[in-house]
């Protein structure tokens, strides 16, 4: 081929491959075989290498993942990304309908759509070219994830018309891709993702777009952020325009003019939902006319013209075969129900935490009982209640032991706590769990050193404390089960690389009581080196905004122990970095979270999360949890039987959420 012919061929291939890509990923009607597509792609890659000036921003070769980023830039949304109010039953939907009709009259049409359970993203196009993609973040500011979004093949890199437009949609991981990904993770002894939503979010927050490219994500686009000069007068016309421009919209949408029809549609999906190839967590109902939408307007957080109907968690029956006990890193002994395997909300469940003895008593759970199981928030398996009618008399009541199931020392119940604890610092279970925590992703992030590997190394007495991890040698690793030459090499490299982590990762990994990931970062930023931190007083610590008395005491006690000094010296000797390497600014990068900088009070009995977990999660996202409600409280989380604190919150006009809302916001 001569040069001009080759150049024409590049343009031809780009157009052809973009067309095939659209047919395959958006229309689901491929017109060429995978082999042919791959062969044309190879041809284009070679030609573009020869004529780099022809490698346009919308070339299909741009989807394989570009350079690794250092971080994601913050991007302010031109129009805020709001959330939706929820409906949980017919009555809520009828209320919504009534409110709508009061404002706009009786001539209303509603569009019902799948509520895709993924990650909201915004896509900007200039002159029809995809120029920027962002996450929702806190609704006002999100993160620029353009390169990762380009790897989603159903996102057009160029539109069929040269529009300046910003659209919103839900990126998600199809169920099949999720299962395959988790299987691969298990084989590699890595933590599987809890659900497709987390997997999608995790994939889009990879700094290396090549990793995101491997994750098989997809998208449904559901609205145009700024309709401007599009001439569109209804939401459904907007969706049709999105189709024409080359976007993938969800085909299951329907328009109705009565709430009865809407309710029938919604109820129909309760049973059909498992047949979809992707997860939905509800149905979104939107007023179709844009003029009526404008009349209805917005509350502070969500439009009055739309509502999300949330499906109730699926409940199934199974037998509780046994109750197992495990000792956690902090010595808390947790009972877990061992269940006859049963499929709930898409995955097989065999275990459910029973949290503590009080819960077992309250629900009167006995070994051998038939129980109802659900996944709270479609994630955490939970025993809802016992089917008392199915009892045969053979069931066995369960009693918590008085001694630690791992080390035999006496268990204690600390003040204020329902949990039983083993307080023996040499308890092997606590040490093992502490080691698992040390290498986990948020801590030292040593890839390849999963729970099973740690358990083996600990069993073989190759590691007894965290410093021993840095003494491991390849020869020792190769002898472990399922450890090949290559994985041993990778592991040695991962251990070596973790020595360079900034101080906060180590601090969090050490497992100092009450010090979560967020507090570890604050401490590292303030004190910069572990030696400085060793010298601080409780007074120095509480002077820092985010640190309360309990944490301060715990830090001082921790560093005053001689064995901790020894451990630090051992780590130093192994070449582990003991200094903060991040930006000096005190401002912490947590602006994505709703909880950042807020003061929150937990009151009443929480059902799905333990209080400690709720606190740790809130703190990890930058919030501060305090004990009493005052003017400086931003938010109160009220569980069952919340009393005077709830009354105080109402008196002071402080926002109150229930536990479900808390969990929903924590998951964002
Ligand atoms: S419309 C103004 N439509 O649900 C609100 N949202 O709490 C615009 N979602 O953050 C949202 N499927 O991530 C809309 N068909 C759909 C959706 C949908 C999923 C998500 C979206 C949003 C959340 C609402």
Q: With respect to residue 405, please indicate whether it lies within any of the assigned structural domains.
A: no
In this prediction, residue 378 carries a pLDDT of 61
pLDDT of 516 strictly over 90? no
CA 304/CA 287 separation, integer angstroms:
9
CA 558/CA 444 separation, integer angstroms:
19
Q: What six digits make up the tokens of 199?
A: 């997997």
Q: Are 47 and 90 in contact (CB under 8 A)?
A: no
In this prediction, residue 589 carries a pLDDT of 44
Among candidate residues 310, 325, 345, the one where a domain is terminated: 310
In this prediction, residue 587 carries a pLDDT of 43
Identify the band that residue 591 occupies on the pLDDT scale cut at 50, 70 and 90: low
The residue contributing the CA closest to ligand 1 atom 2 is: 82
Q: Are residues 352 and 474 in the same domain?
A: no
**pLDDT tens track for 46-66:** 999 888 898 888 999 988 777
In this prediction, residue 377 carries a pLDDT of 59
Q: With respect to residue 170, please indicate whether it lies within any of the assigned structural domains.
A: yes
The percentage of residues in the chain with a pLDDT greater than 70, rounded to a whole number, is: 97
Q: What six digits make up the tokens of 278?
A: 């992707």
**pLDDT tens track for 84-139:** 999 999 999 999 999 999 999 999 999 999 999 999 999 999 999 999 999 998 88
How large is the average pLDDT for residues 604-618? 81
Rounded to 5 degrees, what are φ and ψ at 605?
Answer: -95, 125
Q: Are 283 and 266 in contact (CB under 8 A)?
A: yes
Q: What six digits make up the tokens of 242?
A: 């999105």
The total of structural domains in the chain comes to: 6
| Look-up of token digits 């070596």 | 496
Torsional sign, CA 544, 550, 553, 558:
negative
In this prediction, residue 590 carries a pLDDT of 52
Q: Are 295 and 265 in contact (CB under 8 A)?
A: no
| Three-state secondary-structure class, residue 301 | coil
User: Ligand 1: distance of its center to the CA of 221 in Å?
Assistant: 10
Would you say the CB of residue 308 lies under 6 angstroms from ligand 1?
yes
Q: What six digits make up the tokens of 235?
A: 């939401």
Q: With respect to residue 252, please indicate whether it lies within any of the assigned structural domains.
A: yes
In sequence order, which residues have a C-beta less than 8 Å from that of residue 648 and are 6 or more positions away? 629
pLDDT of 615 strictly over 90? no
User: Ligand 1: distance of its center to the CA of 384 in Å?
Assistant: 29
Report the CATH number at residue 34: 1.10.287.610
The crossing angle, in degrees rounded to 10, of helices 196-204 and 175-187 is 80
109, 106, 87: which is closest to 98 by C-alpha? Answer: 106
In this prediction, residue 36 carries a pLDDT of 92
CA 285/CA 130 separation, integer angstroms:
29
In this prediction, residue 190 carries a pLDDT of 67
Would you say the CB of residue 143 lies under 6 angstroms from ligand 1?
no
Would you say the CB of residue 83 lies under 6 angstroms from ligand 1?
yes
> Which member of 50, 115, 210, 668 is catalytic?
115
Identify the band that residue 417 occupies on the pLDDT scale cut at 50, 70 and 90: confident
| Ligand 1 atom having least distance to the Cα of 119 | 13
Q: With respect to residue 402, please indicate whether it lies within any of the assigned structural domains.
A: no
Element (H, E) at 143: strand 141-143
How large is the average pLDDT for residues 359-364? 94
| Look-up of token digits 């039987």 | 641
Q: Are residues 199 and 326 in the same domain?
A: no
CA angle 512, 382, 373 (to 5 degrees): 165
DSSP strand pairing (110-116 vs 280-287): antiparallel
In sequence order, which residues have a C-beta less than 8 Å from that of residue 6 and are 6 or more positions away? 47, 50, 51
398, 247, 255, 424: which is closest to 337 by C-alpha? Answer: 398
Q: Are residues 296 and 191 in the same domain?
A: yes
Q: Are residues 290 and 326 in the same domain?
A: no
In this prediction, residue 188 carries a pLDDT of 67
Mean pLDDT of the chain: 90
Q: Are residues 652 and 633 in the same domain?
A: yes
User: Ligand 1: distance of its center to the CA of 104 in Å?
Assistant: 23
pLDDT of 424 strictly over 70? yes
To test the pocket of ligand 1, the residue of 170, 247, 302 to mutate (highest count of ligand atoms within 8 Å of its CB) is 170
pLDDT of 337 strictly over 90? yes
Structural domain containing residue 597: 592-666
Q: Are residues 319 and 304 in the same domain?
A: no
| Look-up of token digits 């229930």 | 658
Q: Are residues 227 and 171 in the same domain?
A: yes
pLDDT of 189 strictly over 80? no
Q: Are residues 336 and 387 in the same domain?
A: yes
CA 410/CA 400 separation, integer angstroms:
12
| Look-up of token digits 């398996």 | 381
DSSP strand pairing (165-172 vs 218-224): antiparallel
Element (H, E) at 422: strand 420-422
In this prediction, residue 585 carries a pLDDT of 45
Q: With respect to residue 419, please indicate whether it lies within any of the assigned structural domains.
A: no
CA 318/CA 76 separation, integer angstroms:
48
Q: Are residues 513 and 623 in the same domain?
A: no
| Ligand 1 atom having least distance to the Cα of 84 | 7
Q: Are 305 and 296 in contact (CB under 8 A)?
A: yes
Q: Are residues 128 and 265 in the same domain?
A: yes
Q: With respect to residue 404, please indicate whether it lies within any of the assigned structural domains.
A: no
Report the CATH number at residue 657: 3.40.50.10190
Among candidate residues 310, 327, 362, the one where a domain is terminated: 310
pLDDT of 430 strictly over 90? yes
Q: What six digits make up the tokens of 86?
A: 């929820």
Cβ-based neighbour number of residue 543 at 10 Å: 12
How large is the average pLDDT for residues 424-452? 93
pLDDT of 626 strictly over 60? yes
428, 432, 435: which is closest to 406 by C-alpha? Answer: 428
- Clarify whether 115 is annotated catalytic: yes
Would you say the CB of residue 115 lies under 6 angstroms from ligand 1?
yes
The DSSP call for residue 72 is P
Identify the band that residue 327 occupies on the pLDDT scale cut at 50, 70 and 90: very high
In this prediction, residue 586 carries a pLDDT of 41
Report the CATH number at residue 522: 1.10.150.20
Would you say the CB of residue 219 lies under 6 angstroms from ligand 1?
no
Q: With respect to residue 643, please indicate whether it lies within any of the assigned structural domains.
A: yes
Q: What six digits make up the tokens of 390?
A: 């199915």
How large is the average pLDDT for residues 174-193? 79
CA 612/CA 334 separation, integer angstroms:
13
CA 166/CA 133 separation, integer angstroms:
9
In this prediction, residue 442 carries a pLDDT of 83
CA 623/CA 311 separation, integer angstroms:
29
Report CA-CA distances (Å) from 524 to 503, 516, 548. Answer: 6, 12, 16
Report CA-CA distances (Å) from 52 to 5, 15, 44, 45, 49. Answer: 16, 17, 11, 10, 5
Identify the band that residue 231 occupies on the pLDDT scale cut at 50, 70 and 90: confident
Check residues 640 and 302 and name the one with the higher pLDDT: 302
In this prediction, residue 588 carries a pLDDT of 43
**pLDDT tens track for 249-286:** 999 999 999 999 999 999 999 888 888 999 999 999 99
pLDDT of 418 strictly over 90? no
Q: Are residues 236 and 364 in the same domain?
A: no
584, 604, 601: which is closest to 655 by C-alpha? Answer: 601
User: Ligand 1: distance of its center to the CA of 83 in Å?
Assistant: 6
Rounded to 5 degrees, what are φ and ψ at 91?
Answer: -60, -40
Q: Are residues 478 and 547 in the same domain?
A: no
User: Ligand 1: distance of its center to the CA of 301 in Å?
Assistant: 12
Q: What six digits make up the tokens of 402?
A: 């008085």
| Three-state secondary-structure class, residue 322 | strand
């Amino acid at each position: 081929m001569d040069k001009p012919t080759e150049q024409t061929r590049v343009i031809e291939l780009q157009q052809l491959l973009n067309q095939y890509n659209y047919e395959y990923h958006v229309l689901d009607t491929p017109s060429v075989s995978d082999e042919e597509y791959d062969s044309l792609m190879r041809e284009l890659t070679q030609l573009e290498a020869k004529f780099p000036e022809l490698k346009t921003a919308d070339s299909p070769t741009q989807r394989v993942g570009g350079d690794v980023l250092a971080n994601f830039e913050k991007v302010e949304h031109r129009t805020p990304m709001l959330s939706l109010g929820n409906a949980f039953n017919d009555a809520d939907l009828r209320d919504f309908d009534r409110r709508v009709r009061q404002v706009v009259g009786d001539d209303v049409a509603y569009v019902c759509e799948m509520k895709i359970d993924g990650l909201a993203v915004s896509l900007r196009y200039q002159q029809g070219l995809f120029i920027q993609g962002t996450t929702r973040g806190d609704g006002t500011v999100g993160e620029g994830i353009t390169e990762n979004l380009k790897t989603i093949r159903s996102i057009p890199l160029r539109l069929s018309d040269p529009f300046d437009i910003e659209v919103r949609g839900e990126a998600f991981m199809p169920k099949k891709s999720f299962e395959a990904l988790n299987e691969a993770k298990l084989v590699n002894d890595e933590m599987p993702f809890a659900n497709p939503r987390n997997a999608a979010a995790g994939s889009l927050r990879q700094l290396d777009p090549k990793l995101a490219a491997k994750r098989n994500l997809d998208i449904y686009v559901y609205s145009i952020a700024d309709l401007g000069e599009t001439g569109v007068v209804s939401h459904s016309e907007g969706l049709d325009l999105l189709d024409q421009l080359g976007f993938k919209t969800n085909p299951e949408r329907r328009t109705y003019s009565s709430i009865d029809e809407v309710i029938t549609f919604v109820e129909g999906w309760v049973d059909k939902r498992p047949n979809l190839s992707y997860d939905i967590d509800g149905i979104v109902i939107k007023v179709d006319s844009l003029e009526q939408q404008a009349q209805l307007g917005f509350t502070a957080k969500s439009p009055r013209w739309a509502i999300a109907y949330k499906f109730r968690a699926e409940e199934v029956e199974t037998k509780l075969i046994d109750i197992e006990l495990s000792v956690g890193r902090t010595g808390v002994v947790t009972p877990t129900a061992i269940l006859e395997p049963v499929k709930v909300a898409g995955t097989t469940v065999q275990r459910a935490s029973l949290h503590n003895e009080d819960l077992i008593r309250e629900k009167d759970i006995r070994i051998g009982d038939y129980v109802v199981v659900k996944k709270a928030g479609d994630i955490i398996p939970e025993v809802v209640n016992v089917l008392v009618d199915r009892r045969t008399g053979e069931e066995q009541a369960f009693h918590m032991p008085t001694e630690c199931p791992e080390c035999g020392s006496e268990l204690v119940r600390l003040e204020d706590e329902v949990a039983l604890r083993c307080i023996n610092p040499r308890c092997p279970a606590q040490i093992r769990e502490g080691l698992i925590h040390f290498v986990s992703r948020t801590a030292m992030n040593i890839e390849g050193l999963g729970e099973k590997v740690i358990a083996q190394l600990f069993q073989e007495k190759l590691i007894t404390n965290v410093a021993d991890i840095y003494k491991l040698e390849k020869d020792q690793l190769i002898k472990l089960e399922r450890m090949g030459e290559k994985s041993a090499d990778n592991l040695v490299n991962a251990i070596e690389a973790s020595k360079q982590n900034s101080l906060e990762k180590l601090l969090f990994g050490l497992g100092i009581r009450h010090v979560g990931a967020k507090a570890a970062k604050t401490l590292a930023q303030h004190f910069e080196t572990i030696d400085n931190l060793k010298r601080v007083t409780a007074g120095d610590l509480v002077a820092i905004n985010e640190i309360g008395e309990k944490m301060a005491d715990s830090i001082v006690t921790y560093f005053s122990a001689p064995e901790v000094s020894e451990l630090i010296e051992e780590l130093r000797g192994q070449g582990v970095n003991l200094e903060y390497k991040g930006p000096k600014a005190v401002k912490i990068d947590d602006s994505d979270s709703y909880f950042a900088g807020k003061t929150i009070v937990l009151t009443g009995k929480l059902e799905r999360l333990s209080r400690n977990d709720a606190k740790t999660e809130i703190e990890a996202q930058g919030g501060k949890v305090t004990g009493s409600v005052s003017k400086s409280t931003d938010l109160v989380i009220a569980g069952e039987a919340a009393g005077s604190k709830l009354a105080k919150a109402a008196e002071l006009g402080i926002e109150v959420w229930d536990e479900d809302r808390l969990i929903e916001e924590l998951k964002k």
